[in-house]
Amino acid sequence: MADWIRPEPLNCADDVPIVTREQDAPTVAQSLCDGQNACVGDLYSTGLAALAEVRRLLSSDAQLDTYEASRQNRRAYRQASHRLLVPIRNREIALRKSPTIGWLVELYPDISDFHLTFPQVQGLNSSWQWYERGVELPGLERRLHPFYGTYFPTRHDHLALFDEWLRSYTGQKDKALDIGTGCGVLAMMLGRAGFSRVLATDTNPNAIESVRRDLKRLNLEAGIEPVVADFLGEETGADLIVFNPPWLPGEPEGPIDEAVYYEEGFFERFFNGAATHMAADARLVMLFSGLAEDVLASSTHPIEAELSSSSRFGLVQKLERAVQPSSKKTRRRKRSADREKVELWELQRG
């Protein structure tokens, strides 16, 4: 079996109660919030109804007023919702009126009957839909089909900003590095811009598989090399290093979260490695955002902190672009389009 990240298959204990549409959904939701496990036994919609009640129990407008309160609410929902199990039989959801999810066949060749939590099944389902339909990203004019567990941007302002910068780039184009490539959009933009060799690194093997499949699908394999590696790996001699790091401090809770939240010491470790591997005349371009400063008054801007506390890098230029307003449908705390800007920092060795 390929070494991909997947939801861990579970064994359901015999004493876990089976819930059906005959049970009162608010009562089931309360039991999940109280720490009791349950397994859906009839319809897929029974699980959806139970989790809708869990969200209703845990959520209120007041609870979502601050960033930390919003994260605590998400954490509480995650804990309660993952107590609801789904039976998988012969790599299919064993509930009536369930979606067909191709990942159950591809990710579980070694096991046919098991259980997953309901949110894991929902994640697999939404991922399969994105994979089947593909996503359109600015700067590419092609659809990408992200593999399960692969981050792809749902906000595009930073991509437009990078595309603008890349069109004006006049440096050498022998070799570029795209660090934390995710779905590979920046690597493919670099390839389109004429770089002879682009190394796309990521610690997530699913992301590297995603990029490999899209390169093959789009006939773009020449010159772009996806590699499982931490930051720059062992590579040196790049003319350009591009990094779209996580924008928010916090503890990641999975491979997708690792593209959103960074832990203490993350940027120090990156800048140490970049200073060691970068050629004297190379450029480092980092895509970032003022989002953390908007939602966390005490947040320190990691790039500003590096430039003010160390002589390892110097600023060539900083570009900014306004962000689009949050969707009115989002349940999360809405960002301020007036205050938040996406940023492009072009740095050179100090």
For the whole model, what pTM was predicted? 0.90
- Cα separations in angstroms, 321 against 130, 156, 161, 182, 339: 27, 11, 7, 22, 11
Percent above pLDDT 70 for the chain: 92
* Regions of the chain with pLDDT less than 70: 1, 60-65, 67, 294-298, 325-339
Task: State the number of CA atoms in the 13 A half-sphere of 101 facing the CB.
Answer: 26
pLDDT confidence of residue 60 = 64
Nearest-CA neighbor of 82 among 37, 131, 34? Answer: 37
pLDDT confidence of residue 150 = 97
Average pLDDT of the chain to the nearest whole number: 90
CA distance 289 to 277: 25
Tokens of 259: 């593209």
Residue type, 30: Q
Return all residues near 281 (Cβ < 8 A) that are at least 6 apart. Answer: 348, 349
Tokens of 41: 């036994």
pLDDT confidence of residue 294 = 64
φ/ψ (deg, to 5) at 10: -120, 155
Mutual orientation of helices 118-133 and 67-81 as an angle, nearest 10°?
110
Query: 230-253: buried (b, 16+ CB within 10 Å) or exposed (e) per residue?
Result: ebbeebeebbbbbbbbbbbbbeee
pLDDT confidence of residue 144 = 97
**Domains of the chain from N-terminus onward:** 18-131 (no CATH), 135-349 (3.40.50.150)
pLDDT confidence of residue 97 = 97
CA distance 204 to 83: 26
CA distance 278 to 136: 32
CA distance 144 to 149: 14
